Amino acid sequence: MNQDGVLLINKPRGMTSHDVVMKLRRILDTKKVGHTGTLDPDVDGVLPICVGTATKLVQFLTAESKTYIGEVTLGISTTTEDASGEIIEQNYIEEPPTKNKIEEILKSMIGTSVQTPPMYSAVKVNGKKLYEYARAKQAVERPQRTVTIHQIGLLGEIIHHEGLVSFKFFIHGSKGIFIRTVAVTIGEKLSMPAHMSNLTRIASGSFKIEDCQTLEDVVENGPNYLSISQALIDFSTVTVDNWVENLVKNGVKLREEQISPPMKQGQFLIKNKLGNPLSIHVWDDKKKLYVAIRGLW
């Protein structure tokens, strides 16, 4: 069986991304399996997995933007900012916010802002993950990050039940954004404690949830691999002749005239005349040469 390519997995809840990797190593009987970015245990949805030679792609498939369907519950805040944490604050809500008010707040959040990652997250500080500090009850300064919400909107009805209010929302945000923290921020803007009570990632870059396999489907029907070229569909591509192909394989930096059309902005994929991926290159403006970031043959 061919064991090279990218698997789009619909990660189930209750498993870490590493759990999925370990399970697929057993299913596929190969050690060369890696995921392209952590998806929290309480979150299900799109998790691209690289297998075999495609593990060379891991650094290139951490998508710049991701899309989720989430649920905010107002009235309770937790240590982890989601439903798995201990309750910090609980307030009975007599009068739920109006649909117009929620939509107004969501609209105000579109754009770029500074976000502080949750203590219960895999963000590293001094080589140690934040959740390790949290579990040891150690204080540490969390690094802030700039994130962007491209789109966000209310989905469905606002549910008011037993003093709690919940509603679903759609969000398309930049790499590194914590949707848990978005849920808490929505609560802050409403002057109410809040946490993220449900979350599904429906897209990671151009990879969609409708194209994903479950782990059970991989076991029953076999893996449905994307080729390296298919996985890098969003990359600009240049086809080179046999001479340049040999230069690439020998690690030679390429001159400007050897790449046509010119590729001066960002990373791009080089293929040979047979359409086989050779490498990811980028223009080095100081050296005035194209340099390889990763060989793919």
Active site residues: 40
245, 256 in Cβ contact below 8 A?
A: no
Q: How many residues does the chain have?
A: 297
Rg (CA), the chain: 22
- Residue 228 Cα distances to 175, 202, 219, angstroms: 22, 22, 22
The two three-digit tokens of residue 217, written as one number = 């489907």
Place of tokens 């709690």: 164
> What one-character DSSP code corresponds to residue 32?
-
The residues facing 160 across adjacent strands are 165
Q: What phi and psi, each to the nearest 5 degrees, are found at residue 103?
A: -65, -35
The residues facing 112 across adjacent strands are 148
Place of tokens 């991304």: 17
Query: What dihedral do alpha carbons 256, 260, 263, 267 form, nearest 10°?
Result: -100
Q: Which of 42, 60, 49, 44 is nearest to 12 (CA)?
A: 44
Give the CB-side neighbour count of residue 274, counting CA atoms within 13 A.
6
